[in-house]
Structure 1
Amino acid sequence: MFSGQGSQYYHMGRELYDHNAVFRRWMSKLNDIIYQKVGISITDEMYNEAKNMDDKFDHILYTHPAIFMVEYSLARVLIESGVEPDYVLGASLGEVTCAAVAGIVSVEETIECLLKRAELIESYCEFGSMIAIIHNSELYHQVSSISLHSELAAVNYCSHFVISGDSENLLKIEKYLTTKNIIFQTLPVRYGFHSANIDSIESEYKKFLQNFSFKKPKIPVISCLLSDYVTEVSAEYFWDVSRYPIYFQKTILKLEKDAQFNYIDLGPSGTLANFVKYNLREDSLSQFYDILSPFGQDIKKLEEVEEIFN
């Protein structure tokens, strides 16, 4: 499983970067591709010793490729150790990582898409905001001061959803949530992904995406945009995963009707594994695992996953 914007932080994956040769090799390879294209080093910024883990890491020219680099490199670590996925699942930007891991697009093309999206957003979009709300998503539809001034960006489990939109409007919503003692978290992003806040780049980005040919996936892809398996991907799809709501809860509940799974979260924060936990029935035989988190023990958790599945 691959997560998206909001899951990033300074020094994510640092333990593996320092001590796992495969992870470092792939991170360096991807970093070199980006440096050749735009002249910036993602690893220099992400692993900047002057930055603390709790400093805001939200410059998307860095965070877009950084999330992909960490997720893709970690996927390669598992695959090269013999842990191969039966399926890949993505949420938001994580769907782009999915496409690369599944062979729908090449690594170089994926990086081009992410850099172009970041460049367009920074050039043409007003600043926006996203808020994760710890409450049943029905609240969104029941409270007009929320639904009229934001868009539903994601529903992750029965008591966790995300809204997105204009910064000023979301600040008013934060004040409302505070007065109602509703717990929320403002995500570390500068723009309102999955909302009209990014609509100004739609035409230009879709035009850019027409330059690529998308192959059939070599590994079955599960999309949290569609809550279904994906057999073909188009340029339109690469836009849709950043513009429209992500239905993680609906996706997991649908999967659980079919079978039991081992869910391995390769995102930077382990958030999807946590979301899975809250979506599983008590009698489910499915298991969930994370590897990376801001709290460390990345190597230990990686070794545990490799031991379980090898």
Structure 2
Amino acid sequence: MSIAFLFSGQGAQYAGMGKELYQAYSEVKEAIDEAGEILGLDMAALCFDEDERLHWTPYTQPAILAFSYGLDQLLKNKGIAPNMAAGLSLGEYSALVSAGVLSYEDAVMLVHQRGTFMEEAVPEGKGAMAAVMGADNALIESICNQVSKQHYVQPANYNMPGQVSIAGEAEGVEEASRMLEEQGAKRVVPLKVSGPFHTQLLKPAADKLEAELKKYEFKPYTIPVYGNTTATAFKSTEDIQRLLVQQVMSPVRFDDMIRNMIQDEATTFVELGPGKTLSRFVKKIDLSANVMNVENEKTLTKTLESLTK
């Protein structure tokens, strides 16, 4: 059995995430408390209470990272270690921490800065995203190209067969959504996000992130980490830094990434962090994959029972 850890991305957060495990396990408590100390705020309250800041990108990203890292440490202390790792967008940083590339302390500050750059890149209301269900990738790409002649829009997330997110200028996303529905897409759903992530509109954020990344130490990885932009394993620490910059303004190729991990003999995927969106994606990509998630006591118990037989 070859285990792959998958780490949640932005959008998976919810009030109360991690509270049950925070109260029961020191690994989760320490990770969340330490993130709060680094950023000078009460991270536990941010995660557990009805706090609108949980949905502000500069805070969302370290909050999800903190919870994910706590789960990573908890499973490893229970004797469950990954053979490879990956994450969705923000989750890529959690995967790099799991693989020893970035220190947890550095990653908390780095994703806070990343979130700040992303939020500043496009004025509120100017950008949008939408999930397109039941349309061919080639059709989505063709329509985005057509619409972009007036209002910029592009595929942003290739999540799984039959689901692609598009993002760009609000007018472009609206027009592409209308055309896709007219040409047979089953559904197009606007997404509640603060910006057109993973598009060229985020280049100002990518430029700032490139300068910021130079301040941090990247160590050799202990396990392969698969990147969103190329869908393959990172080759070097220089490769990682370059692709983290690209990732902010390039489509996430989650579907291809999972297929490559399976080709490289991943048999069991464990999603760590809030929600089970990635688990659902993996099942749609390959029905034979063994998939589980950990976000509370119930899912932790189920995962431990399955992996420690």
Matched residues, number: 294
Which residue is equivalent to 2:215?
A: 211
Decide whether the 8 Å contact of 2:231 with 2:257 is kept in 1.
yes
Decide whether the 8 Å contact of 1:6 with 1:187 is kept in 2.
no
Query: What secondary structure sits across from 1:218 in the alignment?
Result: coil
Which residue is equivalent to 1:33?
A: 38
Decide whether the 8 Å contact of 2:58 with 2:112 is kept in 1.
yes
* Whole-angstrom CA distance in 1 between matches of 2:119 and 2:15: 20
Fraction of identical pairs, as percent: 24
Residue 144 of structure 1 deviates from its aligned partner by 4.8
TM-score scaled by length of structure 2: 0.86
Which residue is equivalent to 2:131?
A: 132
Mean CA deviation greater in 137-146 or 210-219 = 137-146
Mean CA deviation greater in 117-126 or 58-67 = 117-126
Change (3 A) 1:147 1:271: farther
1:220 to 216, 219, 224: 224
CA RMSD of aligned residues (A): 2.3
Change (3 A) 1:8 1:139: farther
Which residue is equivalent to 1:90?
A: 87
Which residue is equivalent to 2:143?
A: 143
1:34-183 equivalences under 5 Å are 34-35=39-40, 40-48=41-49, 50=50, 57-127=54-124, 128-135=127-134, 136-144=136-144, 148=148, 149-176=152-179, 182-183=186-187
TM-score scaled by length of structure 1: 0.86
* Structure 2 counterpart of 1:103, one-letter code: G
* Structure 2 counterpart of 1:236, one-letter code: R
Decide whether the 8 Å contact of 1:129 with 1:192 is kept in 2.
yes
Which residue is equivalent to 1:299?
A: 297
* Whole-angstrom CA distance in 2 between matches of 1:267 and 1:129: 25
* Structure 1 counterpart of 2:269, one-letter code: Y
Residue 216 of structure 1 deviates from its aligned partner by 0.9
Residue segments in structure 2 that go unaligned for 5+ positions in a row: 1-5
Structure 1 residue ranges (4+ consecutive) displaced by more than 6 angstroms after TM superposition: none
* Structure 1 counterpart of 2:82, one-letter code: P
* Structure 1 counterpart of 2:304, one-letter code: E
Decide whether the 8 Å contact of 1:152 with 1:245 is kept in 2.
yes
Change (3 A) 1:3 1:233: farther
Residue segments in structure 1 that go unaligned for 5+ positions in a row: 293-297
Change (3 A) 1:102 1:159: same
2:236 aligned with 1:241, yes or no?
A: no
Decide whether the 8 Å contact of 1:102 with 1:217 is kept in 2.
yes
* Whole-angstrom CA distance in 2 between matches of 1:275 and 1:267: 15
* Whole-angstrom CA distance in 2 between matches of 1:300 and 1:247: 30
Mean CA deviation greater in 58-67 or 195-204 = 195-204
Deviations 1:176-196 (A, max 9, x none): 556667323333320111012
Mean CA deviation greater in 98-107 or 118-127 = 118-127
* Whole-angstrom CA distance in 2 between matches of 1:308 and 1:73: 20
Which residue is equivalent to 2:3?
A: none
* Whole-angstrom CA distance in 2 between matches of 1:21 and 1:226: 36
* Structure 2 counterpart of 1:246, one-letter code: V
Query: What secondary structure sits across from 1:77 in the alignment?
Result: helix
Which residue is equivalent to 1:269?
A: 275
Query: What secondary structure sits across from 1:229 in the alignment?
Result: coil
Decide whether the 8 Å contact of 1:102 with 1:221 is kept in 2.
yes
Which residue is equivalent to 1:198?
A: 202
Which residue is equivalent to 1:250?
A: 256
